[in-house]
Amino acid sequence: MALGGNHLKVGKVFVAGGLPTHTYIPRGEYKLEQKVRDYLDEGHRILSIAGPTKTGKTVLVKRVLATEQVVWLSGGTISSIEDFWQSIADDLGLITNLESSNTSTEAESRTTRGEVNVGVGKGGREGQSSTSSATSDKSSRTRPVVSVAREALRTGLHIVVIDDFHYVPSEVQLQIVRGPKDLVFDGLPVIVISVPHRAYDVVRVEKEMTGRVEQLEVGFWSKSELLAIAQRGFEALNVVDAESIAERLADESFSSPHLMQSFCLQVCKYNDVRSYVNQSKQLFAPAWEEFFAARAQDASRTAFDVLARGPRQRTDRKIRTLKNGVTTDIYGVVLAGIANTGPRTAITYEQLRASIRDVISEELPQRHEVTRVLEEMSKIARDQIEGEPVVDFDEHLSTLHISDPYFAFFLKWRVDADVNSAREDVEALPLAEDYRGGINVGGNILAWRSRTN
């Protein structure tokens, strides 16, 4: 029996980038929700939740803390320790300006007596008058934000969550970890959420926190978990998957529930299913290459263009030739090498070097050239591209991380000159910036090959 209702919209079933209800998968095998609740019960340390971007870390925490009092902070908005404490004060509506007044009143009374001649007799009259004066003293003072915020956290014991903790500059991370350390000792729950290769930032910046940080890993999703999203959603909408559509979508989701939600949403819209259907309806598979190419076009095209362009510089870069005959610069070569790995979500320098050897038709770039490009790409991803950095190069481990599954998906599904596609969105691209069958990189067309399973 369908779980939905006559007014259930497809966008409320398959939710990409929000908190789903009908298609929320608790991942009971890993007991993630229970581990978060256990931490809240025990406390006295920091909980570091790590996992690849768009794998449900934030959804997990919001789900568990739905009925709790939470101070929710975004690492992307914290560039100083002052920002951290001010954000807490703002969230709790704290007042830092205090004003007091003291008013005193003095009164004086006076009595007068007199005689009045009223003809045959005399009469008396008595009167009383009074005067008063008042003085008022006012004083005001401003309490430091950090003092007010710490006092509120100590008395209220709200749960502090710092999402995207890896966005916070390392020197500020150190101050944040040290600042509420005594509050954590007293029982204040603090949860930080980050990507896997930044999971130990809390310990790295403050050695004294070793043993006082609990790690919880939210890993990539299994195929069965991704399929559960489709199964629950299709059932809620009263539609039938008779063509193993969910199987193909799961295979292309790069283990990301975010991508799976998006794919399911688009498949339903392709079949003109935009809400619960009273009479069960079968879904039909789209032309997969066109479907995924269209999704890739919307995924991370801008991020790719910005990375391919690289930093601005005065001199022209050396032009290099790929084995497919395309000419590009060092940034195009590195991106082609990254894509040729699959792409993998974590690529060591040696793996990337071997991949570049597969795609370039001339002498390999020097190690320092490649690592310089990777460092620049990481910087561009942090500073010039909104949202989660799509790539992040760990210099110490000489490993490039593709942090965003959408970017990995884009690298896999690019438009190729040999693919005879009639998609209107590709035809409509402005020729000044984009080319059918390739991407303009510094005046050169970098063509890509779409891949099928």
Tens of pLDDT, residues 282-330: 999 999 999 998 888 767 788 888 999 998 765 678 899 999 898 999 9
Band of residue 95 on the pLDDT scale cut at 50, 70, 90: confident
Residue 79 has pLDDT above 50, yes or no: yes
Q: How many CA atoms lie within 13 A of 355 on its CB side?
A: 19
Band of residue 84 on the pLDDT scale cut at 50, 70, 90: very high
Alpha-carbon distance of 232 to 24, in angstroms, equals 9
Over residues 211-237, the mean pLDDT reads 93
The reported pLDDT for the residue numbered 108 is 59
Name the token pair of 15: 């939710």
- Please state at what angle helix 405-412 crosses helix 257-270, rounded to 10 degrees: 60
Residues 6+ apart with CB under 8 A from 130: 107, 108, 109, 110
In contact, 266 and 287? CB cutoff 8 Å: no
| Angle at 408 (CA atoms; ends 407, 413), nearest 5 degrees | 95
Q: Residue by residue, what is the 3-state secondary structure of 72-123?
A: EEEHHHCCCHHHHHHHHHHHHCCCCEEEEEEEEEEEEEEEEEEEEECCCCEE
Residues 6+ apart with CB under 8 A from 147: none
Alpha-carbon distance of 300 to 293, in angstroms, equals 12
Pairing of strands 122-142, 213-217: unpaired
Alpha-carbon distance of 82 to 347, in angstroms, equals 37
Cis peptide before 196 (omega within 30 of 0): no
Alpha-carbon distance of 400 to 381, in angstroms, equals 12
Percent of the chain with pLDDT over 90: 54
Q: pLDDT by residue (tens digit) across 105-139?
A: 665 555 555 554 544 455 555 555 555 555 555 65
Q: pLDDT by residue (tens digit) across 38-66?
A: 999 998 999 999 888 888 999 999 999 99
Kindly list the distances between the CA atom of residue 255 and the CA atoms of 226, 260, 261, 408, in Å, as whole numbers in the listed order.
7, 8, 11, 11
Strands of the sheet containing 346-348, edge to edge, are 346-348, 399-402, 391-394
Closest CA to 84 of 142, 150, 183: 150
The reported pLDDT for the residue numbered 183 is 94
Alpha-carbon distance of 329 to 248, in angstroms, equals 35
The whole-model pTM stands at 0.73
**Phi, psi dihedrals of residue 272, rounded to the nearest 5°:** 60, 35
Over residues 268-285, the mean pLDDT reads 96
Phi-psi region of 264 (alpha: psi -120 to 50; beta: other; left: phi over 0): alpha
- Which CATH code fits 28-94+144-217? 3.40.50.300
- Which CATH code fits 221-286? 1.10.8
Alpha-carbon distance of 306 to 119, in angstroms, equals 111
Secondary element (H or E) of residue 175 = helix 170-178
In contact, 348 and 370? CB cutoff 8 Å: no
Band of residue 403 on the pLDDT scale cut at 50, 70, 90: confident
The residues spanned by each domain of the chain are 28-94+144-217, 221-286, 299-446
Specify burial of residue 289 (Cβ count, 10 A radius: 0-12, 13-18, 19+): middle
Kindly list the distances between the CA atom of residue 21 and the CA atoms of 216, 223, 425, in Å, as whole numbers in the listed order.
23, 20, 32
Percent of the chain with pLDDT over 70: 76
The reported pLDDT for the residue numbered 82 is 95
| Angle at 450 (CA atoms; ends 449, 453), nearest 5 degrees | 130
Cis peptide before 343 (omega within 30 of 0): yes
Number of Cβ atoms within 10 Å of the Cβ of 175: 17
What residue type is 241 in one-letter code?
D
